[in-house]
Amino acid sequence: MKPLRIFGYCILILFFFYELFPFYWMFNTAFKTRAELRLSPHVTFFPHNPTIENFVVVLRRQVTAFVTPPIMNSIIISLVSTLITLILSVPASYSLARFKIKRSDNISFWILSQRMMPPIALAIPYFIMIGALNLLDTQLALILVYTAFNLPFAVWMLKAYWADFPWVLEEAALTDGCNRLQSFFNVILPLSWGSIATVTFFTFIFSWYEFLFALILTRSRATTITISLASSILETGVEWGWISALSVICTIPTILLSIFLYKRIISGLTLGAIKG
């Protein structure tokens, strides 16, 4: 068994380096000079003269090349769309899981079917509707689109969790004198933070890294950080240092959010894995 265990550890180590190497290369490139990236005849695994020049350039371009800094647009759009998604999905999923109404299964399937269509198929209809509302190149347009796209996912994730929820706890609270609203906020929600944190994390990630709708529905005022990344491809060539530096900045919010919600995300992903 020992050789087999050593072989397993070797496979895990190789997989670990395989997964982390793109992140290492991103950080490595972000600190290289423009001359080293363009003129060096060999691939270098470490920057010869580490510099923060790329970070200075991309942060300056955030302020000067766009009407509103794309990173600020991304933060506002992602946070607001995530918040609205949670406000709508939590009561919707609770109602579908808790109350047996006529054709509830059909309603649940209809909600899920909204996520079956590929985003590119919705791009033109969204563009026409947003244009008719005079919301092109606004933060509100992306907030509405991201909320509409994230809502089916959030409802189904939470509904799956509440399908196995011990409702006897709610019934006990109702017996003790709580009304339905009080039992929901005082009993059900405190026990559901793990699943809600999981939905929050994935919803925020989609809104933060989304590119297609941001490309089609924005011009300059509501440009997001993903569009700013694409703008580093110039006529003179691809500015890999700028792209890598902005990619490092782009990953910071998701890393911080994952660290902050780590324990709750793990509990949310493993709920229902063990029965009995």
Q: What is the pLDDT of residue 276?
A: 40
Sole residue written with tokens 């706890």: 169
Is residue 275 classed as helix, strand or coil in its secondary structure? coil
Q: What is the pLDDT of residue 270?
A: 52
Note whether 127 and 180 are within 8 A (CB).
no
Note whether 73 and 207 are within 8 A (CB).
no
Q: How many Å apart are CA 37 and CA 39, to the nearest integer?
A: 6
Radius of gyration (Cα) for the chain, nearest Å?
23
Angle 30-33-55 (CA atoms, 0-180°, nearest 5)?
A: 45
Mean pLDDT by 10 residues, the chain (276 residues): 76 86 89 80 78 88 80 93 93 83 72 79 90 92 93 87 80 81 83 84 91 90 88 76 89 86 65 44
Q: What is the pLDDT of residue 269?
A: 55
Q: How many Å apart are CA 136 and CA 46, to the nearest integer?
A: 43
Of 13, 22, 1, 2, the C-alpha closest to 247 is 22
Note whether 270 and 195 are within 8 A (CB).
no
Q: What is the pLDDT of residue 233?
A: 74
Q: What is the pLDDT of residue 273?
A: 44
Task: Kindly tell me the number of DSSP H helices and DSSP E strands found in the chain.
Answer: 14, 2
Q: What is the pLDDT of residue 275?
A: 42
**CB-based contacts of 82, cutoff 8 Å, min separation 6:** 150, 200, 203, 204, 207
> What is the chain's percent helix, strand, coil content, to nearest 5?
75, 0, 25
Q: What is the pLDDT of residue 235?
A: 67
Is residue 93 classed as helix, strand or coil in its secondary structure? helix
Can you spell out the DSSP letters for 146-166?
Answer: HHHHHHHHHHHHHHHHHTT--
Could you tell me the CA-to-CA distances from 158 to 38, 52, 101, 180, 246 in Å, in that order?
Answer: 49, 43, 18, 19, 33
Neighbours of 269 (CB within 10 A): 14
The tokens for 173 are: 């609270």
Q: What is the pLDDT of residue 193?
A: 82
Tell me the backbone φ, ψ of residue 238, rounded to 5 degrees. -90, 125
Is 68-270 assigned to CATH 1.10.3720.10?
yes
The model's pTM is 0.83
